[in-house]
Every structure is written in C-alpha cells, then in structure tokens.
Structure 1
Amino acid sequence: MATTTTIQSAFAQDVRKGFTAKNKHLSSKYFYDDAGSRIFMEIMKMPEYYPTACEFEIMLQQSAQILKQLQFTGQFNIVEFGSGDGAKTKHLLNAFTKAGAQFTYIPIDISQEAIDALQDNITAFVPGVDMQPRTGDYFDVLEELSGSAIPNLFLFMGGNIGNYSHDDAMALLLKFNAGMKPGDKLLMGIDLQKNPRIVQLAYDDPHGITKAFNMNLLQRINNELEADISLDQFDFYSNYNPKNGEVNSFLVSLKKQHFHSTVLNETFFFEKDELVWTELSKKYSFTGIESLAKEAGFKVNHNFMDCKHYFTDSLWEKM
C-alpha cells in the first residue's frame, strides 16, 4: 500500500511536470482526494450526469442476470477497483446475496473517506456481507489474490475506463489481464456514444459542480504543495467531440499570472487564456468495445445496458 508521503511525492512530481510542459496538464487521478471525492458524489446526484443513473438501473434490475452469466460455483471474490461509496454496487451485492451466492467483497479506493462511507452504506443495506476493504493501489491487491484458487469477479465501474487514452487504457487492461486467472471475469462500466447534447450537459453542468471538481485540483496544490494560486483567476471549459467520442476538460487561466510552490521551490507561469488539460472522458461504440477487449486479451461475454442504451456494464473474460 502506498504511503501518504509517496502519494504526495508523486503528486508534486506530476504537478511540476504538468505545469512546465509546453501544453500544460494535470492528471485526473488527482481529482479524488477526500474533498474531490465529496464533490464527485454531488456530480453523481445531478440530473444531467446520466452515467450514475444508468449504471444504477443496470445494477438494480440486472444483477441476477449478471450472476447467472458469471457461471461461478462455490466461493468467489468480488474485487472492485475505485469503489467510491458503494451506492450502486450495494444492489449487485444484495441481489447476489439473495440468490445464495457465496462471496467476499473486496472494495479498493485511494480515499479512506470514501472507504468509510462505503462500509456504512454496504453494511446497512446488506447486513452480514463478508467485506474486506482496502485503501490504496489496485495492483497490490491483484498481486495478493494471484496465488489463490478462488475465482474473482473484478469490477471497474462508473465508466472510468473512458478517462484513459487508448495507450493508457491498454496498459491498464493488460495489467488487469496479467493479474487474472483463467475463469476470472471483469465487469466494466463503459459510457456509450449518444446525442452530443446529452454528453455535453453531463460534463459542463449549469450548477457549476463539475467546475468545482476541477478547481479542487488547484486547491489541492495550494494545500499540499504550499502554493499561492488565486482560484478566481481560473475558469473551467469542457468540450465533446462526437466524431471520436472524446470529452476533454480544461482549466483556463484568465490572465497572465504566476504562482509559487514552497514544497516544490518553484514558480510557475501562465499566459492569459492558457489551457491546463485535466481530463479525458471517452465514449465508446460497441465495435470499439469489442476491439478494446480483443486487443487486451479478453472476449466480451455480454453487454448489460440501461433502458435508454446510454451506458453498458460489459462482462469480459480472459481469453
């Protein structure tokens, strides 16, 4: 498990690298400190942010079918990468429990606050569930499980795969594949291509919550790297390209400015209207899903979809 010092050191290095690059950028993996996780929970409650409601519907209505499709017999593990507060997963666990499935739930999240909220949510909804939560890195847990004969269902929910470029998505999926045994399954939330207006509103909402989520990156730099960024001198912009299915989000410098980080002992300079890229959120076609799975050494067993066909939880198995 990574220590706090290690995480902050990586954060510091990535901020320096991102703010000194020709095209400035910050990694979206740093959105999810405790404050960022709280803001994201607000995003998931927005009516415009359809992925949560769509995946919630799938978990609520199709979990029994998912269990049947697994074809597991006896004890198995459910290992969730980036589990958050468990609001959707609890319905999967509840359906599995009612069907008599014997499993251990192993949620993993970088945020201890999210894990604490998850434990409260899950135990209240599914009393007696066998749960072994972990705070830290996905691959530490994958390594621990690699020597066990117990089959695993890995969950990567919420459309998180869309936050990765093709190369990074492939690197992640190949790591997942390498840590899986024959017979293990991966259930992955994937946002589907659809009406561009629906997508745009989900990522540039009228309430300003997504803007606050992005601005929290700057606040985190102030807090953890002892910087003096004036948050009111930055704005937020997001754009969806329906031709390639990509949403790209940016922070925008409103004037020529600079700030200093005591921890990094460095001053960073910004031009007026200069962009800082913060996030990719890719939407997939079914052809794209098949291609992604095959390239990473998986085959698609089934795509479970919401009634609007906005979103899928795609069940893959190792080839």
Structure 2
Amino acid sequence: MNTTPQIYTTAFAEDVLEGLTAKKKHLSSKYFYDDNGSHIFQQIMKMPEYYPTNCEFEILSEQSEQILERLEFKGKFNIVEFGSGDGTKTKQLLQAFLNKNADFTYMPIDISEEAILILEENILTSLPEIKMQSKIGDYFEVIKDISKENTPNLFLFLGGNIGNYKKEDAFDLLQKFASGMKKGDKLLLGIDLQKSPRIIQKAYDDPHGITKAFNINLLHRINRELDADIDVSQFDFYCHYNPENGEVNSYLYSLAKQRFYSRVLNNSFTFQKDETIWTELSKKYSFIEIEELAEHLDFKVLENFLDSKQYFTDSLWEK
C-alpha cells in the first residue's frame, strides 16, 4: 500500500507552500475570509477604532443623491459592482437612487455563486422593487460582455479594497477595469485617506486583540485545511503604519525557533525566532496620489465625496 500523503493542489495549498518557503515569508490576505475569519472581521467592523466601514456608510447614506446628480446619466444605466460583500453599504446608494426614480439595473459580480445568492436575498428583501441581474464569473470576463452594450455604466469598487494592492498591482487592476469601460462610464472607488498616524495604527492594531485573532486565524486555517501541527501560541501579531508612504503592513511573527509539518503539503516549515510572515498591505492615499493614479489611467476625477471627518472618500471617476 502507498502510504505517501496525498498532495492537494488547491489554490490555498499552493499559495501557502509558495509563501512559507519564500525567502521573505508571506500569506495572502485573501485567505483571511474563511467562515471563522469572516465572523472575526464582522467584529472588527464593529470596533470603535475601525473607522473605514462607518465612514463609507456615512458617505453613501448622506450623499448618494449628490452622487446620482454627478453621474449625469440620461435614461437607463447599469450599476456594476465588484466585490459587494453582503451589500449593506451598497443598499444605501441603491435606495437613494430608487427614491429619485433613477432607471437602473444593479449587476453585482462575484465568482462565488453562494456569495451572490446571499447578496440577492439581502438586497431583494430590503429593496423588492429593484431590477437586479447578478453575474457569476471572473470580473473582467463579465465586464467585457457588459461593455458591448450601449447602456452607460456606473462601476463600484467600494470598501477601500484598492488599498490592499501594491502600487503596480493597483494600477494593473484599475487598468483592467478601464479596459472594460466605455467613454462616459463612471467608476466610484472607495479609498481610505491619509490621516493621523495614531488613528490608523489603532484601527489596524486594536487594543481588544481582534485584529490579532483575525491574523492568527490564518494559522488555524492552515492547521485545519492542510493538516498541519502549528503551535499557534508560538506566534504573535504586529502591524506598522508608515506615514511617509501611507502603508500599513501587517505581520505574524514567530516567538521561538520552531518547525511544523503539513501532511497535505508533505512539507516541513522552519521558523527562526522573530521571523515574520507578511499578511496584509493597507495603503492610505493622499488627494494628490488619487489625482495622479486617475490621470495615469486616463480617468478624470469628477469629485471626492467625503465623510464628515474626512477620513475616507468615495472618489467618482469618469472614463
């Protein structure tokens, strides 16, 4: 009988193997969101220190009518959303547009059918009158089809998610969005702004230990899904905000020299004391950087809609 452990080639397994054998160890932040990670993130969003969610909710609750006016669309249009989550914030915008009798079709895109079904239930329960055409698949394949139609589009990329991409990756992502947009289409982009370093530091290294648990959950996920024997008590969490470049970088780090084994990967991983695993980037932008990014992509910034504290913006761009 062959007793060699079976090596699975899921994206998670491949990325963990690559990340933990690299010279500078890293794990992708996209793997934070298993069921337990998503539950912890809900706790993060409720923390008084974590401002981005409330700030964007305020913008969309209080300024969606102004956003609609600034679109200057005549007649029918589509609202195409990338990564809508449960739609809680987006509902504020959709409700305001419906109240103004805007003639639009909401088109959320997600590669996960389950995520779309949850979103549909959430949106349609609150807004039964909305016209909704969900799209399941790769963002960029879907928008190619949408762009073939004459109907103008408002593309949504909310939540400050652009901040999770390095500069060159953010440019590449937005370039792909732009390639699926027609002249006159608009993009509403959620962007976290540079502000007091102390406010940002507390938001990403909270005194309650919730963000630490969010990061440590990555190790629990490796243990569970990749049949590993990580002693999670031998890791801690650290993050650092650099006000010079606007970057928050988050890390797990090893409290001792140690080794663990994954049966699924059939591999052992060695850590030196204080060796780090980079887990997340969260970039904060200045207004100058927003203008430069838009200009570089041949967009025009129409308006930056701000919360009352001016911590966050939903920036409206035109193609």
Q: TM-score range by the shorter chain?
A: over 0.9
Answering whether residue 72 of structure 2 is matched by residue 100 of structure 1, we say no
Q: Is the 8 A contact 1:254 1:273 kept in 2?
A: yes
Q: Which amino acid counterpart does residue 268 of structure 1 have in structure 2?
A: F
Residue 65 (structure 1) shift: 0.5
d(CA) in 2 for partners of 1:134, 1:140: 10
Identify if the C-alpha distance between structure 1 residues 211 and 285 changes in structure 2 by more than 3 Å, giving closer, same or farther: same
Give the 5 Å matches for 1:71-220.
Answer: 71-109=72-110, 114-220=115-221
Q: Report the secondary structure of 1:47's partner residue.
A: coil
Q: Which amino acid counterpart does residue 249 of structure 1 have in structure 2?
A: S
Identify if the C-alpha distance between structure 1 residues 203 and 136 changes in structure 2 by more than 3 Å, giving closer, same or farther: farther
Normalising by the residue count of structure 1, what TM-score does the alignment of the two structures yield?
A: 0.92
Which residue pairs with 1:299 in the alignment? Answer: 300
Which residue pairs with 1:16 in the alignment? Answer: 17
d(CA) in 2 for partners of 1:39, 1:68: 37
d(CA) in 1 for partners of 2:17, 2:163: 25
d(CA) in 1 for partners of 2:111, 2:235: 27
Residue 110 (structure 1) shift: 5.3
Answering whether residue 237 of structure 2 is matched by residue 227 of structure 1, we say no
Give the 5 Å matches for 1:227-306.
Answer: 227-306=228-307
Residue 31 (structure 1) shift: 1.8
Gaps of 5+ in 2: 1-7
Q: Report the secondary structure of 2:259's partner residue.
A: strand
Which residue pairs with 1:309 in the alignment? Answer: 310
Q: Which amino acid counterpart does residue 201 of structure 2 have in structure 1?
A: Q
Which residue pairs with 1:4 in the alignment? Answer: none
Number of equivalenced pairs: 312
Which residue pairs with 2:38 in the alignment? Answer: 37
d(CA) in 2 for partners of 1:63, 1:220: 39
Q: Which amino acid counterpart does residue 99 of structure 2 have in structure 1?
A: K
Render the CA deviation track for 1:34-66: whole Å, top value 9, x for unaligned.
332232222111111111111011000000010
Q: Which amino acid counterpart does residue 90 of structure 1 have in structure 2?
A: K
Q: Report the secondary structure of 1:260's partner residue.
A: strand
Q: Which amino acid counterpart does residue 295 of structure 2 have in structure 1?
A: K
Residue 116 (structure 1) shift: 4.3
Q: Report the secondary structure of 2:229's partner residue.
A: coil
Q: Which amino acid counterpart does residue 102 of structure 1 have in structure 2?
A: D
d(CA) in 2 for partners of 1:246, 1:128: 42
Percent identity over the alignment is: 67
Q: Report the secondary structure of 2:88's partner residue.
A: coil
Residue 81 (structure 1) shift: 1.1
Q: Report the secondary structure of 1:121's partner residue.
A: helix
Which residue pairs with 2:28 in the alignment? Answer: 27
Identify if the C-alpha distance between structure 1 residues 8 and 215 changes in structure 2 by more than 3 Å, giving closer, same or farther: farther
d(CA) in 2 for partners of 1:49, 1:111: 27
Q: CA RMSD in A?
A: 1.8
d(CA) in 2 for partners of 1:83, 1:113: 13
Gaps of 5+ in 1: 1-6
Comparing 101-110 with 76-85, greater Cα deviation is found at: 101-110
Q: Which amino acid counterpart does residue 106 of structure 1 have in structure 2?
A: M
Comparing 103-112 with 120-129, greater Cα deviation is found at: 103-112
Flag the structure with larger Rg.
2
d(CA) in 2 for partners of 1:108, 1:263: 32
Residue 253 (structure 1) shift: 1.2
d(CA) in 2 for partners of 1:48, 1:114: 28
d(CA) in 2 for partners of 1:153, 1:34: 31
